[in-house]
Structure 1
Amino acid sequence: MSLTIYLAELATTIISKLGLPGIFFLMTLESALIPIPSEAIMVFAGFLVSKGEINFLDAVLAGTMGNYAGSAILYFLGKKYGAPMLLRYGKYIFISKKHIEEAEKFFQKNGKLAVFTGRMLPAVRTVISLPAGIAKMDFKTFTIYTILGSIPWNMALTYIGIVLGQNWHLILQYSTLIDSAAIIALIVLIAYFYISKKHEVNLFSSQNSQRAIYDKSGSESHDK
Structure 2
Amino acid sequence: MLTFSTDVYDFMGWFGVIVLMSIESTAIPLPSEIIMPLAGWRLVLDEGHGVPHVFLAGFWGAVGSLIGSLAEYYVSRAGGRPFIEKYGKYILITHKDLERADSWFQTRGELTVFVARMIPGVRGFISIPAGIARMNVARFSLFTFLGAFPWTLGLAWGGYLLGENYDSIREVSKPFDIPIVGTALLIVAWFLWHRIKDVRAESRS
Q: Distance in 2 between matches of 1:8 and 1:86?
A: 36
Instruction: Tell me the residue number matched to 2:126.
Output: 128
Task: Flag the structure with larger Rg.
Answer: 1
Work out whether residues 40 and 159 of structure 2, in 8 Å CA contact, stay in contact via their aligned partners in 1. Answer: yes
Match for residue 26 of structure 2 among 15, 32, 37: 32
Segments of structure 2 that go 5 or more residues without pairing to the other structure are 181-205
Structure with more contact order per residue of length (Cα contacts < 8 Å, sep ≥ 6): 2
Q: Distance in 1 between matches of 2:32 and 2:104?
A: 26
Q: Distance in 2 between matches of 1:10 and 1:77?
A: 27
Instruction: Tell me the residue number matched to 2:15.
Output: 21
Shift in CA distance, 56/140, structure 1 to aligned 2, threshold 3 Å? same
Q: Distance in 2 between matches of 1:162 and 1:118?
A: 25
Q: 1:112-142, CA deviations, whole angstroms, 9 ceiling, x for partnerless residues?
A: 2110000001111110011111111110000
Q: Distance in 2 between matches of 1:175 and 1:83?
A: 40
TM-score for both structures, normalised by structure 1? 0.63
Segments of structure 1 that go 5 or more residues without pairing to the other structure are 1-6, 90-96, 181-224
1:85 Cα offset (Å): 3.0
Q: 1:23-55, CA deviations, whole angstroms, 9 ceiling, x for partnerless residues?
A: 110110111222111111100011121223562
> Residue type matched to 2:64 in 1?
G
1:170 Cα offset (Å): 3.3
The alignment of Structure 1 onto Structure 2 pairs a total of residues equal to: 160
Instruction: Tell me the residue number matched to 2:3.
Output: 9
Q: Distance in 1 between matches of 2:86 and 2:37?
A: 34
1:163 Cα offset (Å): 1.4
CA RMSD, 1 decimal: 3.0
Work out whether residues 109 and 135 of structure 2, in 8 Å CA contact, stay in contact via their aligned partners in 1. Answer: no
Q: Secondary structure at the match of 1:52?
A: coil
TM-score for both structures, normalised by structure 2? 0.68
Instruction: Tell me the residue number matched to 1:154.
Output: 152
Q: Distance in 1 between matches of 2:67 and 2:175?
A: 25
Are 1:138 and 2:136 matched, yes or no?
yes
Calculate percent identity across the aligned residue pairs: 34
1:83 Cα offset (Å): 4.7
